[in-house]
Structures are given as structure tokens and as C-alpha cells.
Amino acid sequence: MPVLPTPSGGTTRTVAQWAAYFDSKLPGKNAGKGYTDYAAAHPGLTAGQSAVAFDLQISLKGVGKAVSDAVSGLSKFTTAGAVAVGKATKPFSVNSFLGALTSRGLWIRIAEGSLGILLILVSVAKLAEGTQIGKLAKKVPLV
């Protein structure tokens, strides 16, 4: 769970802007310097991916340990996670949306969900058969 709230415009910020953001949210902790060192140690990440990974370091280890690890270069275990987060988000396209609508698995899940809801409605009506709610349920058709 991230410690810091995600700022607006997070994907367009530079390393210097992120460092200033970390310093403003964690004053006196030298977090901006730690973030800068972290970003320099992970050149394959964008500034935003480095910020997410460094924030994860803060939430897992605490500010002091995350900053000291970033300065010493020991915080490489989140690199793969940050890269995966960056690659997991795909841009929206009409073709991918229409492809998902024609997916067999999607319609099987929709059918399973519909049957599950129908079973719940029938079982609740059967359980409440002798009560006032059950009498009302008999008056309202299910389908």
C-alpha cells in the first residue's frame, strides 16, 4: 500500500519534479535525494515508474531504510515490479474492445454470473415462502 497519494500529472513529471514532490511530502527525511539516487540506479525505468517503486520501498521498509537503501543501491528488487506495472497498462483501442466482446470466455463468465444471480433469487424466494416478503415475491415475476 503506497504511503504517498499519487499526484496529478504523475506520468509527465521529471525526476527533479518527483524529487521535489517526495521532499514536500516527507520533509526533513531526505526523500528527494533518495528518490534521485533510486532513479539513477534504475535507468530502465521512467520517472513515474521509479516514483511508484520508491514509494513502495517507503511503504515496505519505512522512509529511513528506503532512503539509505536507495543511496547505497540495495533497492533493486522492486525494479521488475515497477516495469511490470508500466507494461500492464495498455492503451484503449476499439479493436481490442470489440475483440473482447467476441471472446468466448467473456460470454461464459456472463452466463455463469447470470445463473448464479438467478439461483440466489430463487433460493431466497423459497426460504421466505411462508412470510410476508415471500408472499410479495410470489406476486412479482422473476422473468
**CA distances, 48 to each of 43, 63, 91, 109 (Å):** 12, 18, 17, 35
Question: What is the spatial distance between Cα 125 and Cα 115, in angstroms, rounded to a whole number?
Answer: 15
Residue 18, amino acid: W
Across the chain, what does the average pLDDT equal? Answer: 75
Question: What does the alpha-carbon distance between residue 42 and residue 123 come to, in Å, rounded to a whole number?
Answer: 56
Taking only the tens place, the pLDDT of each residue in 104-120 is 888 999 999 999 999 99
Q: Which three cell numbers stand for residue 96?
A: 481490442
> Binning pLDDT at 50, 70 and 90, where does residue 67 land?
low
Residue 70 contacts residue 35 (beta carbons within 8 Å): yes
